């Protein structure tokens, strides 16, 4: 009899836990959300690394970070943190960034940026990107675990 009661109690606890975890809804961050503002500030630091080295980037990326570059190649944390000081962009500008939270530990940043970029031919042009960064909070620290960048036509 006690086994049945224990089993029923354990089963009910498992069901309730599953329901509460699956019931977490995604929500968009308010403009003044302190966590969203922090994530946007870190995304800004990364976007500005195209124009000048950003020593604080080491803390922004998780060790297992994986990104997809505009040419489709994948890259890791080391590459993401590296600025090519021999070919820096100019006028790096972070555009609009929206943050969507999925529970307390995952967020997606949807954003865009632009800069004056020097092509392989040596000519400068305005380069515009749209991107998606996936953030995860572990041990009290938010870090990017994945990113994808796409080159788009710059608005006129």
pLDDT tens digits for range 47-90: 999 999 999 999 999 999 999 999 999 999 999 999 888 889 99
d(CA 132, CA 106): 13
DSSP sequence for the chain = -HHHHHHHHHHHHHHHHHHHHHTPPEEEPPTT-HHHHHHHHHHHHHHHTTTS--GGGGGTEEEEEEEE-TTS-EE-HHHHH---TTS--EEEEEEEEEEEEETTTEEEEEEEEEEEEE-TTS-EEEEEEEEEEEEEEETTEEEEEEEEEEEEPPP-
Strand partners, 144: 61, 135
Whether residue 85 contacts residue 99, with contact meaning beta carbons closer than 8 Å, is answered with no
What pLDDT shows up at residue 45? 97
pTM for the full model? 0.83
- Is the per-residue pLDDT at 1 higher than 70? no
117-148 confidence digits (pLDDT tens): 999 899 999 999 999 999 999 999 999 999 99
CA dist., res. 6 & res. 21, Å (int): 23
**CB-based contact 95:112 (threshold 8 Å):** yes
For 129, list phi and psi in degrees, rounded to 5. Answer: -125, 145
- Asked if CATH classification 3.10.450.50 holds for the domain at 26-152, the reply, yes or no, is yes
Q: Return the pLDDT at 79.
A: 94
pLDDT over 80 (residue 4):
no
């Amino acid at each position: 009899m006690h086994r049945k009661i224990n089993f029923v109690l354990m089963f009910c606890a498992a069901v309730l836990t599953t329901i509460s975890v699956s019931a977490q809804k995604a929500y968009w961050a308010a403009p003044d959300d302190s966590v969203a503002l922090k994530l946007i500030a870190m995304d800004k630091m990364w976007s500005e690394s195209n124009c000048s080295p950003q020593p604080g980037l080491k803390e922004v990326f998780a060790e297992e970070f994986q990104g997809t570059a505009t040419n489709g190649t994948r890259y890791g944390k080391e590459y993401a943190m590296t600025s090519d000081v021999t070919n820096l962009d100019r006028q790096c500008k972070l555009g609009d960034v929206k943050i969507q939270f999925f529970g307390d530990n995952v967020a997606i940043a949807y954003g865009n940026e632009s800069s004056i970029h020097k092509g392989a031919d040596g000519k400068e042009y305005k380069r515009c990107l749209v991107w998606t960064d996936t953030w995860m909070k572990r041990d009290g620290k938010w870090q990017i675990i994945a990113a994808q960048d796409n080159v788009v036509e710059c608005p006129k």
